[in-house]
Chain A
Amino acid sequence: MEVSNTLRIALRALARNKMRSALTMLGIVIGVSAVIAMVAVGQGAEKQVQQQIQSFGTNTVMISAGSPAKRPGGARQGFWAVKTLVLEDMEAIQREVPLIAKCAPGTMSSQQVVFRNQNWYTRLMGTTGDYLAVRDWPLQAGNMFGDDEVRGAQNVAVLGKTVADILFVGEEPVGQTIRIRNLPFQVIGVLAPKGQSPMGDDQDDRIYVPYTTLQKKISGQDWLQFLSCTAVSREASVAAVPQITALLRERHRIRPGEDDDFQVRTQSEVADLAEQTSRVMTLLLGSIASISLLVGGIGIMNIMLVSVTERTREIGIRMAVGATEMDIQRQFLVEAVTLSLLGGTIGIVLGTAASGLISGFLGWPVAVSIQAIIVAALFSAGVGIFFGYYPARQAARLDPIEALRYE
């Protein structure tokens, strides 16, 4: 029999019991829309995590002073206590580790910052002009300081977005002068907002000054707290870790068996972990939602079995006039698949709408992916075939003589 006729018979059979067909479809509708919405929420979270990671730069290699490992004396060497990381280390890395493309030093100090009657307690970071390139961080206004300002230890500052917004209410920060520890600093630039770091702190709540200025005029320290480097690729960032470790151990004269006085971390590890976590979440949400799709499928099977029993005589008549087992099986299978596909289509529409509502009302990031829609469509067709097969088989295996006699 032609496919179009099979489809027509199926549609008519479904139209005959509109209420029943609609309720059966509802199971699939709920299942599919739940899958779409849940996966959208999960993938939205995944995307947000990825953006956060990218905001930090996936190729980034962080070298910080101090190590979490215990020293022989028993005291931990903290981030601030270790004075061995110096600018020459950075130069050595740039010279001897070709996997590293660029480095910028980092030294921190928390200070009160004043502009007219506004003040804010924030973190100062001393670095070089390369820092923005390492972090792939654009400016919103003005300029970054360069080598001249660093060499001359000039009092110039580039503000993070949060600081700029707090200190300068309705005023253009670039060109103004702020005071840090009673020293005047000229604001030469404002950075574009970057948001939270993967560790959750506000990366925009910073002020960047030349590291020379910070060391000489504010902190009085001549060592660095960290080096921020970028490797040529994400893979290179991982490969560079042992090379940097070996180089720094040699430079710091650490004997074999002794612990490092520094720590080398890549963003890649953090990224992998975060991505994995959010992927697991997507999977979890998706599989919970899939259970409702499964329940919808069982609903289809149930109704199809009822339908086969109810229509035993019809099956007998069709067989008597020449329908083969295959014809009958196909007819019932097409009915089940029509139910599930129709339900699936409605579910896709509802699920996409629900995702929109979730992002609109709850402000959660959602991402409805084409893949999720295709998978949902295929899955609902699959549910129809899987749960329709058994009832269709039952129908096809009826004995025509018995079926014709059925009351």
Chain B
Amino acid sequence: MQSSNHRVITLQDLHKVYDLGEVKVPALRGVNLSVERGEFVAIMGASGSGKSTMMNIIGCLDRPTSGRYYLDGQDVSELTSAERAQIRNRKIGFIFQQFNLLSRTSALENVELPMLYAGVPSEKRHGLARAALELVGLADRSDHHPSQLSGGQQQRVAIARALVNQPSILLADEPTGNLDSRTSSEIMELLELLNRQQGLLVVLVTHEADIAAHARRVVFMRDGLILRDLALSGDRHQKLEALHHIMAEVEEELTQARN
């Protein structure tokens, strides 16, 4: 598995069961997936399909009940809480639907936050944070607090924060869910740009086809399993068409299965 040094994420027969006391709810029922450096993967699925659970495990916020998760060749499926915190700090950048910036804290300090926990000295921290803000086009907003920024700007700050420790994976969980369509596409174009220019591995969780159309690979999930896993190519229009086609197909299968 770890043979390929391009392989960043390797999931092997991943199971996750939520123990709710009397009932055990399976959220993942044997997921296999591998993602390489430079990919842009969209994970799609209805709510309850297991995509959030998988996302949390990939982001080292949660541990699988069984199965293996290799990140950059390292088995991270059974790390302690402190070890997982370190992995999140060094290898994973998160962006969320709610932006999740610290309120009443400047954009610059928000971007510095991961470096604070990485122990980067303050001089270097300021410089890197400024560079990251510049990268997302917010150099002139570094002193603004989140409440003084628009939704799109807040998400850009979040992207700068996610990138500042140079992670192996950028995990985007419905990153445009709280944005209007124009801002949404701006954010997605920024992610595309980062992916193309810097070879950043982006894993995007979404249920919207036109957001997923920015990716170059799509993974469909249902009932804790991966239903489809395929590459997207062509221009945006062609990708969208392909996506709609797959979604219709999946829908069809579902109806047949019910009958």
Residues of A within 8 A of B (CB): 1-2, 5, 16, 313-314, 316-327, 400-401, 404
A317 lies within 8 A of B117 (CB): no
Known A2-B119, A323-B85, A325-B82; contact A401-B61, beta-carbon cutoff 8 A: yes
Evaluate contact between A1 and B88: CB separation under 8 angstroms.
Answer: no
User: Quick one: which of B85, B98, B102, B114 contacts A324, CB cutoff 8 A?
Assistant: B85
Chain B residue nearest to A5 (CB atoms) is B116
- We find that the number of chain B residues with CB closer than 8 angstroms to chain A is 27
Q: Is B124 an interface residue (CB 8 A)?
A: no
User: Whose C-beta in chain A lies nearest to the C-beta of B99?
Assistant: A317
CB atoms of B62 and A322 under 8 A apart: no
Instruction: Tell me the nearest residue of chain A to B87, going by C-beta.
Output: A322
Given the contacts A1-B119, A317-B102, A401-B56, A322 and B96 also touching, CB distance less than 8 Å: no
**Separation in Å of the B68 CB from the closest CB of chain A?**
21
Cβ–Cβ contact A321 & B82, under 8 A: no
Known: A314-B102, A317-B100, A401-B61. A322 touches B119 (CB 8 A): no
In whole angstroms, what is the CA distance A248 to B165 when docked? Answer: 93
- Distance between Cα atoms of A71 and B104 in the complex (Å): 89
Q: Does B155 make an interface contact (CB < 8 A)?
A: no
Q: Give chain B nearest CB distance to A3 CB in angstroms.
A: 12
Nearest Cβ on chain A to B107's Cβ, whole angstroms: 14
Can you list 24 residue pairs at the A/B interface with Cβ under 8 Å? A1-B117, A5-B116, A16-B104, A314-B102, A317-B101, A317-B102, A317-B113, A318-B113, A319-B85, A319-B88, A320-B88, A321-B94, A321-B117, A321-B161, A322-B88, A322-B114, A323-B117, A324-B86, A327-B85, A400-B61, A401-B62, A404-B61, A404-B96, A404-B98
Contact B113 A321 (CB under 8 A): yes
**Chain B: minimal CB distance from A324 (Å):** 4
B102 CB contacts on chain A under 8 angstroms? 314, 317
Q: For residue B114, which residue of chain A has the nearest CB?
A: A321
Q: Which of B59, B103, B116 has the most CB of A within 10 A?
A: B116
Quote the shortest CB–CB distance from B235 to chain A (angstroms): 34
The distance from the CB of A398 to the nearest CB of chain B, in whole angstroms, is: 11
List of B residues within 8 angstroms of A321 by Cβ: 88-89, 94, 113-114, 117, 161
Q: Is B90 an interface residue (CB 8 A)?
A: yes
- Contact indicator B119/A404 (Cβ below 8 Å): no
B89 touches A322 (CB 8 A): yes
Given the known interface contacts A1-B117, A314-B102, A401-B62, the answer about A325 and B81 at a Cβ–Cβ threshold of 8 Å is yes
Q: Decide if A320 touches B61 in the complex (CB within 8 Å).
A: yes
Complex: A189 Cα to B103 Cα, angstroms:
82
B118 within 8 Å of A by Cβ? yes
CB of A186, distance to nearest CB on chain B (Å): 86
Chain A residues whose CB sits within 8 angstroms of the CB of B61 once the complex forms: 319-320, 400-401, 404
Query: Are A322 and B100 in contact, CB atoms less than 8 angstroms apart?
Result: no
Q: In the complex, what distance in Å separates the CA atom of A323 from the CA atom of B82? A: 8
* Chain B minimum-CB-distance residue to A327: B117
B154 to nearest A CB, angstroms?
13
- Which residue from A317, A322, A404 sits with its C-beta under 8 Å from B85? A322
Residue of A nearest to B100 (CB): A317
Closest to A16 in B: B104
Measured in the bound complex, the distance between the Cα atoms of B90 and A314 in whole Å is 19
Q: How far is the CA of A314 from the CA of B161 in the complex (A)?
A: 15
